[in-house]
Protein backbone atom coordinates (compact mmCIF):
# COMPACT_ATOMS: atom_id res chain seq x y z
CA UNK A 1 0.00 0.00 0.00
CA UNK A 2 1.24 3.48 -0.81
CA UNK A 3 1.95 5.88 2.05
CA UNK A 4 3.20 8.73 -0.14
CA UNK A 5 1.54 8.91 -3.54
CA UNK A 6 3.58 11.94 -4.63
CA UNK A 7 6.89 10.10 -4.28
CA UNK A 8 5.65 6.54 -4.73
CA UNK A 9 6.71 5.42 -1.24
CA UNK A 10 5.06 2.25 -0.01
CA UNK A 11 4.68 1.03 3.55
CA UNK A 12 7.67 -1.27 3.12
CA UNK A 13 9.81 1.70 1.96
CA UNK A 14 8.85 3.73 5.02
CA UNK A 15 9.36 0.73 7.30
CA UNK A 16 12.84 0.09 5.91
CA UNK A 17 13.81 3.73 6.47
CA UNK A 18 12.53 3.53 10.05
CA UNK A 19 14.51 0.32 10.65
CA UNK A 20 17.57 2.12 9.28
CA UNK A 21 17.14 4.85 11.90
CA UNK A 22 14.67 7.41 10.53
CA UNK A 23 13.15 9.30 13.46
CA UNK A 24 11.15 11.89 11.53
CA UNK A 25 9.28 11.96 8.22
CA UNK A 26 12.08 14.19 6.92
CA UNK A 27 14.49 11.31 7.54
CA UNK A 28 12.25 8.92 5.62
CA UNK A 29 12.23 11.24 2.61
CA UNK A 30 16.00 11.72 2.82
CA UNK A 31 16.53 7.96 2.90
CA UNK A 32 14.74 7.73 -0.44
CA UNK A 33 16.27 10.88 -1.96
CA UNK A 34 12.97 12.75 -2.19
CA UNK A 35 11.04 15.40 -0.27
CA UNK A 36 7.50 16.05 0.87
CA UNK A 37 5.24 17.39 -1.86
CA UNK A 38 1.69 17.71 -0.52
CA UNK A 39 2.55 16.40 3.00
CA UNK A 40 -0.63 14.31 3.32
CA UNK A 41 1.55 11.32 4.19
CA UNK A 42 3.43 12.96 7.06
CA UNK A 43 0.83 12.05 9.70
CA UNK A 44 0.86 8.40 8.65
CA UNK A 45 4.66 8.36 8.68
CA UNK A 46 4.71 9.85 12.18
CA UNK A 47 2.27 7.17 13.31
CA UNK A 48 4.45 4.43 11.82
CA UNK A 49 7.50 5.89 13.58
CA UNK A 50 5.67 6.05 16.92
CA UNK A 51 4.38 2.49 16.52
CA UNK A 52 7.90 1.32 15.79
CA UNK A 53 9.27 3.07 18.86
CA UNK A 54 6.55 1.55 21.00
CA UNK A 55 7.32 -1.93 19.65
CA UNK A 56 11.05 -1.48 20.39
CA UNK A 57 10.24 -0.25 23.91
CA UNK A 58 8.03 -3.27 24.56
CA UNK A 59 10.71 -5.62 23.24
CA UNK A 60 13.31 -4.03 25.49
CA UNK A 61 11.30 -4.71 28.63
The CATH number corresponding to 2-60 among 1.10.10.1100, 1.20.1250.20, 1.10.340.30, 1.10.10.350 equals 1.10.10.1100
Model pLDDT, residue 4: 97
Q: Mind listing the pLDDT tens digit for each residue in 8-51?
A: 999 999 999 999 999 999 999 999 999 999 999 999 999 999 99
Position 3 pLDDT exceeds 90: yes
CA–CA gap between residue 9 and residue 14 (Å, rounded): 7
Sequence spans of domains, the chain: 2-60
Exposed e or buried b per residue across 4-29, where buried means at least 16 C-beta atoms within 10 angstroms of its C-beta: beebebeeebbbebbeeebeebeebb
CA–CA gap between residue 30 and residue 46 (Å, rounded): 15
Amino acid sequence: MYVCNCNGLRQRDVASAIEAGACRPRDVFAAHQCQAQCAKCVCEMREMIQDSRAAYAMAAE
